[in-house]
Each structure stands twice: as structure tokens, then as C-alpha cells.
Amino acid sequence: MSHGVPSAAPDTAAVDGATARRRGWGWLLLVPGMLYLGVFFVFPTVQLFLTSLYDPSGNYFTGYTLTWHFANYLDAIRDTWHLFVRSFIYAGITTGVCLLLGYPLAYAIAFKAGRWKNFMLVLVIAPFFTSFLLRTISWHTILADNGPVTDFLRTVHVLPHDGRLLATSVAVIAGLIYNFMPFMTLPLFASLDKVDHRLIEAAGDLYSSPFTGFRKVTLPLSLPGVVSGTLLTFIPACGDYINAEILGTPKQYMVGNRIQAAFLTEHNYPLAATLSLILMVIVVLMVIVYVRRVGTEELL
């Protein structure tokens, strides 16, 4: 937001000089981080790109040769486009439900929890104390065919007599929602917690009902949290494979499952690399469109 603020100082030349000098130092501070990213991000990404262009006729035992085989991409899209579509649908539903569940939760913690605020925050973070894998396996138990949830849903006839939860899309999405909920809730909380209470009072003073006040003041001011929360949920959910693996069947597999199988089981490195890069490019494009649309720059 540093741009756009018109400078009122008459001696702007002196100010600019000082700012320029400070910026010079700022660049130096970037060096360690840039070096780290250069080694551990740029280099592997280039490597990944080269791997995706290996000749697919090679294999784990004979090795692969780099033949700039761009057809890998067309083949991958042709064979696995349905996995991409499923991944984005699952991740989209997950993000939507997380937002619907996480927003009221974050709102309650920020505005209504009082002295329980910190305790409730700890509860939100608490799942991180155990491993992602273990937590997903326990969802396997929760949703099991003879488990309490399935039993209950059968009793109230939401599920047919022999209906199941496990090994369905519902189970996979439920697992995703559970696992990514904190990533939605925390940025939402951080945004809502910053909203000045007096602004909400002012909205009430200016003829806004509580709901209108929320719509016109609280919600717009919490949009940065909505943007970061949805990104932090959607991006990793797109690439997830644990939930589909443990709570689903191959019918629920996502792109991540295919990449994992290609890489670890089949040792088909060109395919794994190709799928990874396609996923990355699509997600980056979606994020750019999304952020442009919401226009976070305009938000404080």
C-alpha cells in the first residue's frame, strides 16, 4: 500500500534519497533467503522440468535419457485429466466447506471467546501435535462400516441399510476438510481479530443492523483472511493423496495419488514430473486469477 499515497512533504528529494539508501540495505537482507530458495527451489524445479521431458521408453533399470519429449504432457493430460478434474472438485468443495465452518469459528474466537480466546486457539492448533497420517487413519476408524457415525446415519435413514461412508467421495472430502480446517481458521482469525470493535459500533450507530454491519464492515475487513485461508486450504488440498489413499478407493484417487504411484511404485519419473508440473502451473494460474479478482492489494 506504499504506492498510491500522495506524498505531501515539500522536500521529497531528500526523503527519496533516504528511502533509496534504505532500499539498498533491504536488498542485502534478501540474499540469504534467495540463496536458500535458489538451491532448494529453483534448482529442483529445473530438474523436475528436465525429468518431465525424458524419453518415456526408459525405465528404472535401464535409466532414462533426456530427449525433450514434449509429448509427455499431451499423453499425461489425455490419460489423467479426470484425476485433475476430481482433484479440483474435491479441493474446491473442501475449501468451500472449510470457509463455511471456519468463518463462524474464527469469528466466535475473535469476538465472543473473551478469556477463552487463547485456549480455543490452542484447540484449533492441537491436531498438529499428532501426525497427519495418524489423524487420517483415525478418521478411517470414525467412518468405518460398523463405526458410530455410519451406525447413526443408518438408524436415521440418511444412509441405506447397507450404505457406507468409507471408500466414498464423502469420506475423502470429510478427511480433507478435517485436515485443512486449521489452515482456513487461523488466517481468518488473524484478520477478524484485527477488526476494530469500534468500527462495528460505528456501523450500528449509522443505521446498520448487526447483519448489515457485518456485511458492510466486518466481512470486507476480513477479506485478506478469506483470501489467505482459501489459498492455504485449496493449494495443498489439490495435491493431497493421503486422504484418498486411506479413506477412499482408486475410484476416489486424486492427482496426488497418481504422482505418488508413478514416482514411488512404478518409478515412472517422467510421468510423475509431468503431472507435478501440470498441477503446479494450473494452481498458479488459478491463484493469479483469484487474487486479481478479489483484489487484495486494495485491502489495507
Partner 1 sequence: MAETSQDLHLESLTKRFGDFTAVRDLTLTVPSGSFFALLGPSGCGKTTTLRMVAGLEDPTQGRILIGEQDITRLRPYKRPVNTVFQSYALFPHLTIFENVAFGLRRRGIKDYKQKTHDMIDLVQLGPYAGRKPAQLSGGQQQRVALGRALINEPGVLLLDEPLGALDLKLRRQMQIELKRIQTEIEVTFVHVTHDQEEAMTMADTIAVMNQGVIEQMGAPDDLYENPVTTFVANFLGQSNLIMTDIIDGSGAEVVVDCQGQKIGVTSERCHAQGRKAWLGIRPEKIFASQVGESEHTDSNVLRGGRISDVSFIGVSTQYLVAMPWEQELMVFEQNTGRRPLFKNGDNVDLSWSSEHAFLLDADQDAHAGMMTPEDRE
Which residue, 56 or 224, is less far from partner 1 as judged by CB? 224
Distances (CA, A) of 46 to 41, 69, 269, 286: 9, 15, 14, 22
- The site map against partner 1 for 193-212 (x = CB under 8 A) is ---x-xx-xxxxxxxxx--x
Q: Is 39 in the site for partner 1 (CB under 8 A)?
A: no
C-alpha dihedral sign at 104, 109, 114, 115: positive
Q: Under a CB-based contact definition with an 8 Å cutoff, are residues 94 and 180 in contact?
A: yes
Among 58, 127, 220, 239, interactor with partner 1 by CB under 8 A: 220
Which is closer to partner 1, CB of 123 or CB of 202?
202
Q: CB 208 → partner 1: shortest distance, Å?
A: 5
Query: Among residues 166, 181, 221, 231, which is the contact residue for partner 1, using CB under 8 A?
Result: 221
216 binds partner 1 (CB under 8 A): yes
- Cβ nearer to partner 1, comparing 209 with 249: 209
Cα 47 → chain centroid: 25
151 or 196: CB nearest partner 1: 196
Whether the CB-CB separation of 90 and 170 falls below 8 Å is answered with no
Q: Which is nearer to partner 1, 199 or 285 (CB)?
A: 199
Q: Is 192 in the site for partner 1 (CB under 8 A)?
A: no
> Which cell is 149 given?
457415525
CB of 43 to partner 1, least distance (A): 41
Minimum distance, C-beta of residue 102 to partner 1, in the bound complex (Å): 21
Closer residue to partner 1 (CB): 129 or 207? 207
* Total of residues contacting partner 1 (CB under 8 A): 22
Nearer to partner 1, 110 or 277 (CB): 110
Query: Restricting to residues 270-299, which ones interact with partner 1 according to CB under 8 A?
Result: 299
| Residue 157 vs 197, nearer CB to partner 1 | 197
Candidates 2, 6, 22, 114; binder of partner 1 (CB under 8 A) is: 6
> Rounded to 10 degrees, what is the CA torsion of 108, 112, 113, 117?
70
- CB of residue 205 vs partner 1: minimum separation in angstroms? 5
Per CB under 8 A, residues contacting partner 1 are 5-6, 196, 198-199, 201-209, 212-213, 216-217, 220-221, 299-300
